Structure 1
Amino acid sequence: MNSPSLDRLCIHSITTKPWSLYEAVPRYAAVGVKGITVWRQALEGRDPRGAGAFIRDHGLSIVSLCRGGFFPALTPADRLKAIDENRRCIDEAAALGAPLIVLVCGAVPGQSLDESRRQITEGIAAVLPHAAAAGVKLAIEPLHPMYAADRSAVNTMAQARAMCTALNSPWVGIAVDVYHVWWDPDLEAEIKLAGRNGTLAAFHVCDWVFPFADMLNDRGLMGEGCIDIRTIRGWVEAAGFTGFNEVEIFSNRLWQTDQTDFLLRIKQAYLNCT
């Protein structure tokens, strides 16, 4: 299989966390990166319209805004707060010029996963009219089961597919992150189904290192771990996906390194291992 095209390389702003958005954008552009997914904290205190213009002026495509979600809660009042926050997220995405929001759907420790999934589906349904009116698509991202207690009750592609089927909207899809789904024995079949159903909305890459030092913030650069990223990319492309390959790495270890050098390592790993 051929190396991926640099024209499809996107980096999440969180990947180079020590840099502000206004530091990261020109540096990404200078090494040939073509897309960026903006994390909401990078926009805090900034005008999203101005940020969007700055990004486009540097020749980068805005791939998505990350993240919405966290719909489940123990009380109706808190669930309404989550819905309102997701509407604000949609407004930010529209102002920024992002066509997609990635949803980390949420979970409540001690609440049944079935109940959390019901609340997630209801929460997405509640904000869908707002998303459609804004022209912003919502991508459900299944998270690895180790996050099922508190970060997401959506842990497999099949569960995300069931939600897409229930919601039955062209404004809902699935974000495939290899870190979260590489272990799934049904992954190839589910990617094919997502392609057939038109719900394959985003593709994220990094690597799984073992042993890891932190459950959340010790992801690896592509090629450092055990994920067969290239094979999964092949499945995604065979299913008809033509969007960006998005590098999304949370790593205390890598954030402590020189970010200019790290950016060059990302580019090389992307070409060699993705």
Structure 2
Amino acid sequence: MSASEIKDLSRLAIHTITTKGWTLEQCVENFSAAGVKGITVWRQALEGRSDAAIAEAGKRIRDSGLSTVALCRGGFFPGKTEADRNKALDDNRRAIAEAAALGAPLIVLVCGAVPGIPLEDARKQIADGIAAVLPEASAAKVKLSIEPLHPMYAGDRSAVNTLGQANDLVEQLGSPWVGVAADVFHLWWDPALEAEIARCAKLGALDAFHICDWLSPMADMLNDRGLMGEGCIPIKKIRGWVEAAGFNGFNEVEVFSHRHWARDPKDFLADIVSSYLKYS
């Protein structure tokens, strides 16, 4: 299939956060009915569930014909105190257990940043944090996929801000259980993006591909993403680069949007499908 058109939904996945008003069960039912083939589960949808209940949710997903693409999210490793950092490690170990119970092959890592911690220190704490939970990830056969975030989040959400930095971390850690989740919202602006996508693929680390659009102006730096075709990201071009690098996984729609969350979720889902087919 050319990078200029999508004619089916066989590689469409949607994050549960995208249809924020629905429970996990509602997401599964409605995504499946719409012809969507994959789902990335956000941990909020699993809150309060035992491992057995999470495993049952995973079975429900599989029985519906959906693939569980990932669990989102782990990370947030930096902390000003050892207690803060240890708390983050415990949370990541819990995420690994949840992913294993759910049947998710990977966890998306939003790596974290803390105001007042220099970026170079935060990046060291991130590397140390991932290394600390790698034994559990390996034992559970759950991959840890670093998601670089746009530089506007460097102060408080992630000190990993380019695909190049994520690739450097993958090389530094040297484990088959560490990879990368590439999100066009965070990476589209980077002049080195095509080359770093190719590098990521050569490392065997290109685990996930997230899509949405960048609105200009943006009303909220976190919760005003657009549907594909509403903004200025060259999604088809970037998809072409990841496919040329050998990626054949899901195209995961991840939209944080107060504007879209205020709509009827079924109407929003219909627009997700149509925009995916037309603009992705």
TM range (shorter): over 0.9
Look up the match of 2:167. Answer: 161
Q: Percent identity?
A: 66
Look up the match of 2:5. Answer: 3
Is 2:83 the counterpart of 1:77? yes
Is 2:137 the counterpart of 1:131? yes
Mapped to 2, the partners of 1:48 and 1:65 lie a distance apart of: 12
Instruction: Tell me the TM-score normalized by structure 1.
Output: 0.99
Look up the match of 1:96. Answer: 102
For residue 220 of structure 1, give the secondary structure of its aligned residue in structure 2. coil
Report if aligned partners of 2:58, 2:102 keep a CA contact under 8 Å in 1.
yes
Look up the match of 1:42. Answer: 45
Mapped to 2, the partners of 1:73 and 1:2 lie a distance apart of: 43
For residue 18 of structure 2, give the secondary structure of its aligned residue in structure 1. helix
Is 2:215 the counterpart of 1:209? yes
Look up the match of 1:14. Answer: 17
Q: CA RMSD in A?
A: 0.7
For residue 14 of structure 1, give the secondary structure of its aligned residue in structure 2. coil
Aligned residues: 274
For residue 180 of structure 1, give the secondary structure of its aligned residue in structure 2. helix
Q: Which amino acid aligns with 1:137?
A: K
Mapped to 2, the partners of 1:158 and 1:54 lie a distance apart of: 37
Task: Report the CA distance between 1:50 and its aligned residue.
Answer: 1.2
Mapped to 1, the partners of 2:170 and 2:209 lie a distance apart of: 17
User: Which ranges in structure 1 are unaligned for 5 or more consecutive residues?
Assistant: none
User: Which ranges in structure 2 are unaligned for 5 or more consecutive residues?
Assistant: none
1:171 aligned residue (177, 200, 213): 177
* CA distances 1:62-95 after superposition (whole Å, capped 9, x unpaired): 0000000000000111111111110000000000
Matches within 5 A, 1:177-216: 177-216=183-222
Is 2:238 the counterpart of 1:232? yes
Q: Which amino acid aligns with 2:86?
A: L
Which stretch of structure 1 is more off in the superposition, 59-68 or 40-49?
40-49
For residue 165 of structure 1, give the secondary structure of its aligned residue in structure 2. helix
* CA distances 1:103-155 after superposition (whole Å, capped 9, x unpaired): 00000101100000000000000000100000000100000000000000000
Mapped to 1, the partners of 2:168 and 2:118 lie a distance apart of: 18
For residue 195 of structure 1, give the secondary structure of its aligned residue in structure 2. helix
Is 2:50 the counterpart of 1:68? no
Task: Report the CA distance between 1:197 and its aligned residue.
Answer: 1.1
Task: Report the CA distance between 1:2 and its aligned residue.
Answer: 4.2
